[in-house]
Amino acid sequence: MGGENSMRVMKFGGTSVGSGAAISQTASILAAAYREGRPVIGVVSAMAGITNLLLETATAAACGDGSASSQLYSALLDRHLSAIDHVIRDPGRRETTTATIRELVERCVRLVESVHVLGDLSPRGTDWIVSFGERMSVVILAGALAEQGIAAEPVNADRVIVTDEVFGSAEPLLDKTRDMAQATLGPLLDRGVLPIMTGFFGATEAGVTTTLGRGGSDYSAAILANVLRADEVWIWTDVDGVMTADPRLVPGARTLPAVSFAEATELAYFGAKVIHSPTMRPAAELGIPIWIKNTFHPEHPGTRIGPEPGENGSVKAITAIPGLSVITVEGSGFLGVAGATARVFSVLGRASINVFMISQASSQHSLSFVVRGSDGPKVIRLLSAEFEFDILRERVLRIAEDP
């Protein structure tokens, strides 16, 4: 594939394609990068709010809401057609783009109607339905680039990213993805076309749509960069990079000019939504730097995430994950006993409860760990059942949740 060594993958998040005006701005950034003459691949999220809307509507339909699909139909058409109105002037292109969006909206709404008929929404069905957000946004962005005289083509990632079958948080199979990416994107790049690929989803080897987890379009970009040996990933978003805190919560937050892959992974894992935490893995494996840049303030240098450690100093940023609970298990005759801690965590593991942090008092009389607040009552129930006899014998004195 020509020019592999200087390829850039540029990913644009939901706000960067959230309206006609935002799509124009994104198209200008991509057009300028393309005109530099190095190969570029765009990776795009759904318009801001669309993934949530699809998830909420599909859930409502499964719960018996008979009007969910018709409301979805008008909301999807409304958002996407008004973006087309803003960015596409050429009458022929406007007509074809509109027809493609209508067709996608109709397919998506038919799926939601079948969820309503079945009264059931499987993880597999959910992934298929939510993938339509990205399937629609790429069509409009490619149209906006065509308006600027650029040969851009929308590409669905189920022809590129091959994953395992874990619906809702699938992991890529990199070797198979490399073959598919070369077969699908190679001919486009060779012809000088700018591919605009859907973020967020891929497909199993059998071609069934899977998603990479919420916020997963960042991951799509890094996976693509890995398999095509790109030299940079640029994540375009709505803030000036990775900051010392979430600027929505802390107005004085400042941009960190450079952080390491390990630091970025940790910040993301502990709540810095600006980058999806698995994203660093495929990039770090090959030392591909990731730039975080602001679509609406492109002159700001942003943050470089790379192999090198960032600035000196141990505290880089403060992150927060809302809605967590601390669970404490206490009991003097219990926690020193080998295997007790293992029992606690195997119960949680079997129930797929995500544990964010663990601490054990050195006296070993108490063990505390952090889980999602919504998992709290379930954790208490499971542990109370597991340790029923230990509670009766007073080896365990307390299993409690502190919000």
Interacting residue ranges for ligand ASP, rule: CB under 6 A: 13-14, 45-46, 51, 133, 199-200, 214-217
Figure out which of the listed residues 39, 215, 331, 376 binds Mg ion, where binding follows CB under 5 A. 215
Helices 174-190 and 217-227, axial angle in degrees (round to 10) = 80
Rounded to whole angstroms, the Cα distance separating 256 from 240 reads 9
Q: Return d(Cα 155, Cα 178) in angstroms, integer.
A: 15
Q: Roughly what angle, to the nearest 10 degrees, separates helices 132-147 and 50-62? A: 150
x/- map, 195-234, ligand ADP, by CB under 6 A: --------------------x-------------------
Residue the block writes with tokens 């799926």: 111
Partner from Mg ion, ligand ASP, ligand ADP, none binding residue 35, C-beta < 5-8 Å depending on class: none
What pairing do the DSSP bridges indicate for beta strands 324-330 and 355-360? unpaired
Q: Sheet containing 194-198: which strands, arranged edge to edge?
A: 152-155, 194-198, 40-44, 8-12, 232-237, 290-294, 303-306, 258-260
| Amino acid letter, residue 236 | W
239 sits near ligand ADP (criterion: CB under 6 A): yes
Q: Does 331 bind Mg ion (CB under 5 A)?
A: no
The residues near 289 (Cβ < 8 Å, ≥ 6 apart) are 232, 233, 283, 304, 305, 306, 307
* Binds 133: which of ligand ADP, Mg ion, ligand ASP, none (CB < 5-8 Å by kind): ligand ASP
Binding partner selected for residue 243 from Mg ion, ligand ASP, ligand ADP, none, CB under the kind-specific 5 to 8 Å limit = ligand ADP
Pairwise CA distance, residues 192 & 190, whole Å: 5
274 contributes a contact to ligand ADP by CB under 6 A = yes
Smaller CB separation from ligand ASP, 196 or 367: 196
Between residues 15 and 198, which has the closer beta carbon with respect to ligand ADP? 15
258 binds ligand ADP (CB under 6 A): no
Q: Does 353 bind ligand ADP (CB under 6 A)?
A: no
Residues 37-56 that bind ligand ADP (CB under 6 A): 45
Q: Pick between residue 53 and residue 61 the one whose CB is nearest to ligand ASP.
A: 53
Please, are residues 52 and 72 in contact by the beta-carbon 8 Å criterion?
no
Which residues lie near ligand ADP (CB under 6 A)? 13-16, 45, 215, 237-239, 242-243, 245-248, 272-274, 317, 319
